Amino acid sequence: MNDYGINLDDFKINEKDTGSADYQVALLTQRIKHLTEHMGSHKKDFASRRGLLTMVARRRKLLDYLRGKSEERYQKTIKALGLRK
Protein backbone atom coordinates (compact mmCIF):
# COMPACT_ATOMS: atom_id res chain seq x y z
CA MET A 1 0.00 0.00 0.00
CA ASN A 2 1.27 3.48 -0.81
CA ASP A 3 0.44 7.03 0.27
CA TYR A 4 -2.57 7.15 -2.04
CA GLY A 5 -4.35 4.07 -0.67
CA ILE A 6 -3.71 1.94 -3.75
CA ASN A 7 -2.27 -1.55 -3.36
CA LEU A 8 -1.00 -2.40 -6.84
CA ASP A 9 -0.70 -6.10 -5.98
CA ASP A 10 -4.51 -6.32 -5.83
CA PHE A 11 -4.69 -5.57 -9.56
CA LYS A 12 -2.16 -8.16 -10.74
CA ILE A 13 -3.55 -11.21 -12.52
CA ASN A 14 -0.47 -13.26 -11.56
CA GLU A 15 2.84 -12.71 -9.75
CA LYS A 16 4.78 -11.31 -12.72
CA ASP A 17 1.93 -9.25 -14.17
CA THR A 18 2.88 -5.68 -15.10
CA GLY A 19 1.02 -5.26 -18.37
CA SER A 20 -2.64 -6.10 -17.81
CA ALA A 21 -5.08 -3.25 -18.32
CA ASP A 22 -6.22 -3.48 -14.66
CA TYR A 23 -2.68 -3.05 -13.38
CA GLN A 24 -1.88 -0.22 -15.80
CA VAL A 25 -5.03 1.68 -14.78
CA ALA A 26 -4.09 1.31 -11.10
CA LEU A 27 -0.53 2.49 -11.77
CA LEU A 28 -1.74 5.48 -13.81
CA THR A 29 -4.24 6.37 -11.08
CA GLN A 30 -1.43 6.40 -8.52
CA ARG A 31 0.68 8.67 -10.75
CA ILE A 32 -2.30 10.93 -11.53
CA LYS A 33 -3.04 11.41 -7.83
CA HIS A 34 0.60 12.29 -7.19
CA LEU A 35 0.68 14.84 -10.03
CA THR A 36 -2.67 16.32 -8.99
CA GLU A 37 -1.22 16.94 -5.54
CA HIS A 38 1.88 18.49 -7.14
CA MET A 39 -0.24 20.79 -9.31
CA GLY A 40 -1.97 22.14 -6.21
CA SER A 41 1.21 23.84 -5.05
CA HIS A 42 2.84 24.46 -8.47
CA LYS A 43 0.08 26.08 -10.48
CA LYS A 44 2.32 27.34 -13.28
CA ASP A 45 4.04 24.01 -14.01
CA PHE A 46 2.57 23.60 -17.48
CA ALA A 47 4.85 20.73 -18.50
CA SER A 48 3.56 18.61 -15.63
CA ARG A 49 0.02 19.67 -16.45
CA ARG A 50 0.42 18.40 -19.99
CA GLY A 51 1.80 15.11 -18.69
CA LEU A 52 -1.13 14.84 -16.30
CA LEU A 53 -3.66 15.35 -19.09
CA THR A 54 -1.85 12.74 -21.20
CA MET A 55 -2.02 10.21 -18.36
CA VAL A 56 -5.73 10.89 -17.80
CA ALA A 57 -6.42 10.29 -21.50
CA ARG A 58 -4.37 7.07 -21.49
CA ARG A 59 -6.24 5.82 -18.41
CA ARG A 60 -9.57 6.62 -20.11
CA LYS A 61 -8.54 4.59 -23.19
CA LEU A 62 -7.44 1.65 -21.04
CA LEU A 63 -10.73 1.74 -19.12
CA ASP A 64 -12.68 1.77 -22.40
CA TYR A 65 -10.66 -1.24 -23.57
CA LEU A 66 -11.25 -3.04 -20.28
CA ARG A 67 -14.98 -2.34 -20.42
CA GLY A 68 -15.19 -3.85 -23.90
CA LYS A 69 -13.16 -6.89 -22.90
CA SER A 70 -14.75 -7.68 -19.53
CA GLU A 71 -17.47 -5.64 -17.84
CA GLU A 72 -16.83 -7.51 -14.58
CA ARG A 73 -13.12 -6.57 -14.45
CA TYR A 74 -14.01 -2.98 -15.41
CA GLN A 75 -16.53 -2.64 -12.58
CA LYS A 76 -14.13 -4.23 -10.09
CA THR A 77 -11.32 -1.86 -11.12
CA ILE A 78 -13.30 1.39 -10.97
CA LYS A 79 -14.86 0.40 -7.67
CA ALA A 80 -11.50 -0.48 -6.11
CA LEU A 81 -9.94 2.79 -7.30
CA GLY A 82 -12.98 4.93 -6.56
CA LEU A 83 -13.08 6.46 -10.04
CA ARG A 84 -16.84 6.89 -10.48
CA LYS A 85 -19.59 8.60 -8.52
Per-domain residue ranges for the chain? 8-81
Does pTM top 0.75 for this prediction?
Answer: yes
Alpha carbon of 65 to those of 27, 36, 43, 79: distances in Å?
A: 16, 24, 32, 17
Instruction: Give the chain's mean pLDDT.
Output: 92
pLDDT of residue 6: 84
Report CA dihedral (6, 37, 29, 60) to the nearest 10 degrees. 160
Return the CATH class of domain 8-81: mainly alpha
Distance CA 4, CA 62 (A): 20
Per-residue pLDDT of the chain (85 residues; tens, 9 = 90+): 666 678 888 899 999 988 999 999 999 999 999 999 999 999 999 999 999 999 999 999 999 999 999 999 999 999 999 998 5
